[in-house]
Amino acid sequence: MDARLHVSRLSGQATVPPSKSAAHRAVLCAALADGVSHITNIEYSQDIRATLGAVAQLGARVVEEPTSVTITGRGSSGGFVTVTRPVFCNESGSTLRFMIPLFSLTAQKVRFTGAGRLFDRPQAVYQMLFDRQGLRFEQTPEGITVFGRLRPGGFTLPGDVSSQFISGLLFAAPLMESESSIEVLPPYESHSYVDLTIDAMQQFGVKVAARARKNGSVMYRVAAPQRYTASDFAVEGDYSQAAFLAVLGCVIGGINVIGLNPDSQQGDKVILDILKRCGGKFKPIEGGYRFERSLLKATGIDLADCPDLGPILFTLGCFCNGNTVIRNAGRLRLKESDRITAMQEELKKLGARIEVDGDTVTITGVALHAPAEPLYGHNDHRIVMALAVAVYAAGLPALLRGAEAVNKSWPAFWDTLRGLGAKIETE
């Protein structure tokens, strides 16, 4: 889909979508629980639909309503159902990595399929763990096949890989025969996402003990067997999505962003600290924040614990006076697109000055201009949204191709911008 973005005057109030990270975790815990769980404030993005489909194959019963879902969990007494077809994860890395350890507990041969770049993303951590236990783990460009039941014990994982591997093991550990320990070695990146996993597990009745060790690692201990128990779960608003509107608000002013929990433990809430360091002006309002036009200055940013903010921070750097330096950006290359290359290519069409040196990106704030050719979304929801913010913040017209990629995480993104006054034609 093409989106033709016209010069527009944006202001007003917008509600952010529910946290995709929290929704994945709540759906999974509910599916494993004894009883009926109600999950409210949910949006059926492509990623969440992938997780809902996967848990149904584990034996959960899923009933969808417009903004909520009721899940009757498989429980711990009925055993796993027979897996009769491949588990389709679409482009959702969370779905794939959360489900691999759980489906291994069925002791069946299970095939995982997907779309886009999903199987270009590294899975070496699971390959290593399965190999060590003598289990089958085969990856091709078309999918992953596992066969064999993961056994409890001591797991050691590097901390500089996706936290989804750690979360996947945590979800499965209480369903094993005896206690497991998971040691995460330093440097421990994306720690906050594992905290979200543990918070969800504990809300569904599973206990996880965490302890920092003198060597800098973190040790998690999970007693087993434990039972997940049904719970009602309200998904809070998503700070990683709020970041797009927050940056837009600090450049043009007059935007209220609501639907946010001010006490959230989401790691991407760090966008507020980053904006504050850049001189961004905002204040709390009921249910969120009001962002005002600000004279923004460059700062240094470490992406190690907030990689999902990468694309919008590229955009932010374009509007800051000076050189914005983004470090530890390497994992951006392993997402739905190579986000470093994609943002560099597309923002340069707007006149941006971006230099890349390994995992470090330097963005020099300069005046942007209308692109002489269409912008391209690289089949990546966060690239599309970050480019749209850049265009409207700079007050420029542009044609953006691949605009439908927002359906992966925020299907209502274009309608949200229209609600703020953006003139958008889609075709």
Rounded to an integer, what distance in angstroms lies between the CA atom of residue 250 and that of residue 13? 14
Question: 339 and 383 in contact (C-beta within 8 Å)?
Answer: yes
Catalytic residues: 308
Cis check: omega of the bond before 152, within 30 degrees of 0? no
Separation between Cα atoms, residue 362 and residue 373, nearest integer Å:
24
Strands (E), 312-402: 323-327, 353-357, 360-364, 375-376, 398-401
Name the E strands within 141-223. 143-147, 154-158, 180-185, 209-212, 218-222
Residue 78 burial (CB < 10 Å; 0-12/13-18/19+)?
Answer: exposed
* Sheet of strand 180-185, all strands in order from the earlier edge strand to the far edge: 154-158, 180-185, 218-222, 209-212
Structure tokens at 8: 């527009």
d(C-alpha 69, C-alpha 78), whole Å: 22
Encoded tokens for 231? 């719970």
CA–CA separation, 327 and 126 (whole Å)? 27
